[in-house]
Amino acid sequence: MPSAPPASPPESTTRVLLRLRRWARPALPRIALGGLTALGASLLALAVPQVLRVIVNGPLLSEGSQRGVILGAAVVLALGVLEAFLVWCRRALILTPGTTVERDMRTDLFRHLLDLPVEFHDRWSGGQLLSRIMSDLGTIRRWTVFGLVMLLVSATTVVVGIGLMLATSWVLGLVYLVGAVPMIWLGFRFREDYKVVARRARDQAGDLATTVEESVHGIRVLKAFGRGADALDDFARQADELRTTEVHKAKTQSRVSFALSAIPEAILAVSLGFGVVLTSRGELSVGALVAFFATAAVVNSPVERLGMLLAMTLDAKAATDRYLQVMDTGSAVRDPAEAVALPVADPAGSRVELSGVHFAHPRSASADGELRGGSDILAGIDLVLEPGETMALVGLTGSGKTTLLQLVPRLYDVTAGSVRIDGVDVRDLSRADLRAAVSIAFEDPILFSASVRENVLLGTDLSGQAADDLVAEALDVARAGFAYGLPDGLDTIIGEEGLSLSGGQRQRIALARAIAVRPRVLLLDDPLSALDVTTEAAVTGRLREMLTGTTTLVVAHRPSTVALADRVAVLEDGRITGVGRHADLLSTHPHYRYVLTALSALDDPGGADDAQADELAEVRP
């Protein structure tokens, strides 16, 4: 399973984080107000030393006024209470906007994932997407409401505080500033190291989630083959790699945090020495000295916090990068600028025409993230399905039958040529119109954790009696009457991927779902492979009876299915090499004979004896 395509070229932290404006805009007034209250609280904290200076220089040392000291203490108390109130306001103001931003970003990402073509999902693992939609967005939320606000407030507090320190004593202020130089240098170095390791940790967490997802999904295979220990080893190795990265990350952060705590304390000690000398020489008042150190104490705490806030910012940058990597992926399968409407449906059915169709899966992304085209799976398909006919598509395994089917509803787009329905190129239709006209049932059906009824109605917007009638008809055509006998009838929740149903039952519900759309064109990718031949014949017979106005293309792996089609198309080496009635092709088309013989052998393993093998070898064209 692919992990995730390589990250796009690095962009500056500011540029990346500024792109969050799009989602943060509605929340900005509250975030800004929260920031202002936090700034107010910090400025009040900075005001306390100035009050102290006045108390020490005035009422305490010069005037000896007890009343003045008490009044000063009352002012300090009032400032403290106001500061606490503003801190509470900040919390209250920014609590909800962060969750709103997170919800909006999450919804937009999910909407985008649903819009992205199948080709995107072929390349991306579930774990990488899951970690983006869950933990990355949590990181972004915390940064938006706390990291960003506190970073701005702390930086402003430091700048204002240093300004006050310089105003109190420019000599001591300069000493403090000189000491800040190594801190700034350390900050830059930290940024370079940390942003690499922050991104690595997130990607590794995504890979770990992929391993869990795949193992849980394939738990039966792992157990049946006794590979649980191997899966555990693999998981433990990945978990260990993630741990190593997290430890590296924590060490990088603790180094800078230590420096940002120790250096200001050291500067303070040096400043104290200078301050005492200046005061003893009478060049600095005692009140100013007290105010300087009280201000430095206030400034030191945001400086110490800067390491943590910088780490939060770089984590948020890595998370935003990963989020935008998906959001910036454009959809190659998109609606046309001006969609054409399909002509009114002919009761006889729709004409489907594939002309000069080529298709190649993009090869996996190269180091620059670009997708390169692989070799053609379909190499010039010309095929016409007449209105209302049922055509079987036959070919060797891996010949491209499923791929061909998926080009009609644009799950993939042709790389050359065109697919037309009633004369309209499917790329000229809106995807909503196209998917209302075309319906598909896959061999390996995915059912959702919902009731039988909801699963069958997935492709329609009907409700009430009309919906009930439709469900009844679809279940009848798909011979899925067993659904009425489930514990809660059609309201039975059929569980994740319909695991509680047998393979054949799941296929029939999926077939009913495809039929319920009442499509003009029905595509069946061997959707009855899990059924016994008799039930399959019953379902196919009913389908033909009911869907007279529906053009059907069915991938067939069984001679019994093939025989029920009006015509058969043979897919060979990426081209259609024969179209005709089953009996005619059998006598005129050697490759068709060969494929059918091979399919019969698969259908009846007991019959695939040596004689059959000889026969196969003989007929191989």
Ligand X SMILES: Nc1ncnc2c1ncn2[C@@H]1O[C@H](COP(=O)(O)OP(=O)(O)OP(=O)(O)O)[C@@H](O)[C@H]1O
Q: Could you tell me the end-to-end alpha-carbon distance of the chain, in angstroms, rounded to an integer? A: 36
> Which run of H or of E encompasses 497?
none
Selected range binding ligand X among 190-198, 250-258, 322-330, 391-399, rule: CB under 6 A: 391-399
Selected range binding ligand X among 155-163, 397-405, 483-491, 515-523, rule: CB under 6 A: 397-405
Q: Is 42 in the site for ligand X (CB under 6 A)?
A: no
Distance CA 432, CA 517 (A): 12
Question: Closest separation between CB of residue 143 and ligand X, Å?
Answer: 36
Selected range binding ligand X among 286-294, 384-392, 393-401, 594-602, rule: CB under 6 A: 393-401
Selected range binding ligand X among 146-154, 379-387, 396-404, 454-462, rule: CB under 6 A: 396-404
Nearer to ligand X among residue 444 and residue 615 (C-beta): 444
Question: Closest separation between CB of residue 112 and ligand X, Å?
Answer: 20
Nearer to ligand X among residue 5 and residue 395 (C-beta): 395
> Which run of H or of E encompasses 583?
helix 582-588
Nearer to ligand X among residue 153 and residue 598 (C-beta): 598
Out of 325, 402, 439, 451, the only residue in the binding site for ligand X (CB under 6 A) is 402
Name residue 539's amino acid. Answer: V
Residue 606 is classified by DSSP as: G
- Order of strands across the sheet that contains 416-421: 378-385, 352-359, 416-421, 424-425
Q: Is 109 in the site for ligand X (CB under 6 A)?
A: no
Supply the Cα-derived Rg of the chain in whole angstroms: 35
Out of 35, 395, 527, 559, the only residue in the binding site for ligand X (CB under 6 A) is 395
Are 147 and 309 within 8 A, CB to CB? yes
Q: Is 602 in the site for ligand X (CB under 6 A)?
A: no
CA distances to 32, 154, 298, 379 from 573, in Å:
63, 67, 77, 8
Binding mask 457-476 for ligand X (x = CB under 6 A): --------------------
Question: Closest separation between CB of residue 246 and ligand X, Å?
Answer: 33
Q: Is 456 in the site for ligand X (CB under 6 A)?
A: no
Nearer to ligand X among residue 122 and residue 346 (C-beta): 122
Q: Is 529 in the site for ligand X (CB under 6 A)?
A: no
Nearer to ligand X among residue 55 and residue 514 (C-beta): 514
Are 3 and 128 within 8 A, CB to CB? yes
Q: Is 578 in the site for ligand X (CB under 6 A)?
A: no
Selected range binding ligand X among 203-211, 227-235, 392-400, 479-487, rule: CB under 6 A: 392-400
Q: Is 300 in the site for ligand X (CB under 6 A)?
A: no
Nearer to ligand X among residue 27 and residue 381 (C-beta): 381
Distance CA 450, CA 456 (A): 10
| Size of the residue set binding ligand X (CB under 6 A) | 11
Distance CA 599, CA 328 (A): 45
Q: Is 112 in the site for ligand X (CB under 6 A)?
A: no
Nearer to ligand X among residue 307 and residue 400 (C-beta): 400
Residue labelled with tokens 């005061």: 279
Distance CA 9, CA 115 (A): 24
Q: Is 210 in the site for ligand X (CB under 6 A)?
A: no
Out of 125, 157, 271, 399, the only residue in the binding site for ligand X (CB under 6 A) is 399
Question: Closest separation between CB of residue 514 and ligand X, Å?
Answer: 17
> Which run of H or of E encompasses 551?
strand 551-555
Question: Closest separation between CB of residue 359 and ligand X, Å?
Answer: 9
**Beta-carbon neighbour count of residue 583 at 10 Å?**
10
Selected range binding ligand X among 137-145, 248-256, 347-355, 395-403, rule: CB under 6 A: 395-403
User: Length of the chain in residues, anyone?
Assistant: 621
Selected range binding ligand X among 197-205, 223-231, 289-297, 394-402, rule: CB under 6 A: 394-402
Q: Is 173 in the site for ligand X (CB under 6 A)?
A: no
| Residue 515 burial class via C-beta count within 10 angstroms: exposed 0-12, middle 13-18, buried 19 and up | buried
**Beta-carbon neighbour count of residue 523 at 10 Å?**
27
Distance CA 420, CA 428 (A): 9
Are 471 and 518 within 8 A, CB to CB? no
Are 496 and 326 within 8 A, CB to CB? no
Strand, coil or helix: what is 314? Answer: helix
Residue labelled with tokens 């806030």: 309
Nearer to ligand X among residue 9 and residue 398 (C-beta): 398
Provide the token pair at 448.
Answer: 């959702």
Q: Is 377 in the site for ligand X (CB under 6 A)?
A: yes
Are 318 and 202 within 8 A, CB to CB? yes
Nearer to ligand X among residue 86 and residue 377 (C-beta): 377
Nearer to ligand X among residue 168 and residue 399 (C-beta): 399
Backbone angles phi, psi at 339, to 5 degrees: -70, 145
Provide the token pair at 616.
Answer: 């196969």
* Footprint on residues 119-158 left by ligand X (CB under 6 A): 122
Provide the token pair at 13.
Answer: 């932290």
Q: Is 370 in the site for ligand X (CB under 6 A)?
A: no
Residue 7 is classified by DSSP as: P
Task: Please choose, from the candidates 516, 539, 522, 519, the residue with its C-alpha nearest in 3D space to the C-alpha of residue 469.
Answer: 516
Question: Closest separation between CB of residue 510 and ligand X, Å?
Answer: 16
Question: Closest separation between CB of residue 320 and ligand X, Å?
Answer: 29
Out of 66, 254, 331, 397, the only residue in the binding site for ligand X (CB under 6 A) is 397
Q: Is 400 in the site for ligand X (CB under 6 A)?
A: yes
Strand pairing report for 362-363 and 416-421: unpaired
Question: Closest separation between CB of residue 390 and ligand X, Å?
Answer: 18
CA distances to 121, 359, 510 from 114, in Å:
10, 23, 20
Out of 139, 245, 285, 403, the only residue in the binding site for ligand X (CB under 6 A) is 403
Residue 524 is classified by DSSP as: E
Question: Closest separation between CB of residue 354 and ligand X, Å?
Answer: 14
Out of 401, 431, 558, 589, the only residue in the binding site for ligand X (CB under 6 A) is 401
Out of 226, 282, 398, 605, the only residue in the binding site for ligand X (CB under 6 A) is 398
Nearer to ligand X among residue 198 and residue 511 (C-beta): 511
Task: Please choose, from the candidates 565, 559, 616, 614, the residue with its C-alpha nearest in 3D space to the C-alpha of residue 591.
Answer: 616
**Beta-carbon neighbour count of residue 330 at 10 Å?**
10
Q: Is 49 in the site for ligand X (CB under 6 A)?
A: no
* Footprint on residues 324-363 left by ligand X (CB under 6 A): 361
Nearer to ligand X among residue 122 and residue 265 (C-beta): 122
Name residue 506's amino acid. Answer: R
Question: Closest separation between CB of residue 444 and ligand X, Å?
Answer: 10
**Binding region for ligand X (CB under 6 A):** 122, 361, 377, 395, 397-403
